[in-house]
Amino acid sequence: MRRLALRSRLALLTAAAVAVAVAAAAFACWFITRDQLVTQLDSTLRSQLETQAARADGYVDAIIHPCQTSAPSGDNLPPGLTSVQVVTADGQRCLGAGAVPVKVQGNDVAVADGTRDSAAHDTRTDSGHRVRALTEPLYRGQVRTNLAITVSRPLDEIDRTLDHLAWLLLAVAGIGVVGASTAGLWVARTGLRPVDRLTEAVEHVAATEDLNVRLPVEGEDEIARLGQSFNAMTAALASSRDRQQQLIADAGHELRTPLTSLRTNIELLERSEATGRSLPPEDRRELLASVKAQMTELAALIGDLQELSRPDSAAPSLTVVPLHEITGTALRRARLRGPGLTIGADLAPWYVRGEAAALERAIVNLLDNAVKFSPPSGAVDVSLHQGRLTVRDHGPGIPAEELPHVFERFWRSPSARSLPGSGLGLSIVARTVHQAGGTITLAPAEGGGTLATVLLPGAPTAPPGTPPET
């Protein structure tokens, strides 16, 4: 069964279901018709029996005296004719004129000896012909005797009718099954046509890696939902591939500059050694400092790329962490990078669900931006109250037309391209804040500079069971 094609299985199952339904209906129809015919025959026998019982007692006496137990002319009763016989309490039978001998059964004897009031059953003649018999007690006046009268008719006419009905039902069932198979195959082909299109599209994508394939979606059924899901999947894959290619291109562009500078400085040092012309000590120190700075920039860029390349689904599980402590640690690192700056902090306790290392890296990136764009003797203000973390510098600020691009990967303001950095810091900040369920915005600050605002859900006190602060 599993080796068959899906449409073949659907057609076969449809045909089987219809065959079972038709067979059940045919059997029910046959048995209902049989019961109706037998009930009608019993009614006819009862009417004839009442006619026989209404005759004079001499008619019954003529059957009993003399008692004839077999028919000299045989027992082939013509269809539609009724046979009459009297049954005694000891199981003997006496045939009426022209009657066919019918086998006496226990129900007939029970009616004769007064155990039962009536008996209707199928029985056979002495030669084996099937008949329907009805037995009721005989009365003399109002007194019940130990005799019973049995009237019977052949079942040939009922059997012929049921045989004709059976053949008719069999033919109808066969036509129904064939029709159901044909209809099932047609329905399977029609219903699975969208699945065929989906299969062809998947095979095309697997063979060509063309993610621009889209399926036409009609209706709102399961097949339409499957088509919508496929279109959404290919669109997401295409977008992911485009972002990956863009990331590779941008990373290559960003890596080219420090590598070129590093290569130039190293070649200059190598040439001085090869020619025997030593560089002046001051120039040599500058070259070595430049090499060290380029290596540091490359290391930072590679770390940023690794952070951004990590999929969201691979992010570590979030735990409750003290945001005020994390911010304090980031402040200490930022003060080392801007020794001439005044970095003020007003931090109130606030606990959030996130990753401590990632949050610290994000806050350090925000503070690095503030330090980078602040004047040499400027100030940076940091505040944390009720989950609202703000970092405000007093630098030149960000032009309004550049604000929509500040969180894009590798985007750098034209005025900041001469400064150190890869353009990935704010992208990492936005990703970390979003993973913690928060939001981040950058806006011009009153009086000049830039105000970065991070909103993170949490509480001023740690929930029960939180590890103690260290």
Residue found under tokens 């079972």: 20
Query: Where is average pLDDT lowest: 28-32, 35-39, 44-48, 302-306?
Result: 302-306
Query: Where is average pLDDT lowest: 7-21, 63-77, 124-138, 156-170?
Result: 63-77
Say if residues 380 and 341 touch (Cβ distance below 8 Å). yes
Q: What is the pLDDT of residue 453?
A: 93
pLDDT in tens, 121-139: 899 888 888 889 999 888 8
The class of domain 313-459 in CATH terms is alpha beta
Q: Read off the tokens for 5.
A: 């094609």
Q: What is the pLDDT of residue 257?
A: 59
Say if residues 433 and 439 touch (Cβ distance below 8 Å). yes
Average pLDDT, stretch 364-387?
86
388 three-state secondary structure: strand
Side-chain-side CA neighbours of 10 within 13 Å: the count stands at: 14
List Cβ neighbours of 268 (8 Å cut-off, separation of 6 or more). 279, 287
443 has which bridge partners? 451
- Give, for 452, the enclosing helix (H) or strand (E): strand 450-455
Residues of the chain with CATH 1.10.287.130: 222-309
Average pLDDT, stretch 102-120?
89
Q: Read off the tokens for 146.
A: 């130990």
Q: What is the pLDDT of residue 304?
A: 63
Average pLDDT, stretch 70-99?
74
pLDDT in tens, 381-428: 999 999 999 999 888 887 777 777 777 765 555 555 445 555 667 877
Residues of the chain with CATH 3.30.565.10: 313-459
Residue found under tokens 């109808």: 172
Residue found under tokens 């503070």: 367
Average pLDDT in the chain? 79
Residue found under tokens 């990632």: 358
* DSSP string across 423-460: S-HHHHHHHHHHHTT-EEEEEEPTTSSEEEEEE--EES
Position 326 confidence tier, pLDDT thresholds 50, 70, 90: very high
Q: What is the pLDDT of residue 350?
A: 92
pLDDT exceeds 50 at position 314:
no
Residues of the chain with CATH 3.30.450: 7-71+79-161
How far apart are alpha carbons 399 and 401 in whole angstroms?
A: 6
Average pLDDT, stretch 69-79?
61
Say if residues 100 and 75 touch (Cβ distance below 8 Å). yes
CATH topology classification for 7-71+79-161: Beta-Lactamase (3.30.450)
Residue found under tokens 């604000």: 403
Query: Where is average pLDDT lowest: 132-146, 178-192, 348-362?
Result: 178-192
pLDDT in tens, 233-269: 888 888 777 767 766 766 665 566 567 777 887 887 7
pLDDT exceeds 90 at position 457:
yes
Flag whether the pTM goes above 0.85. no
Residue found under tokens 């007064």: 114
Position 316 confidence tier, pLDDT thresholds 50, 70, 90: low
- CATH architecture assignment, domain 222-309: Orthogonal Bundle (1.10)
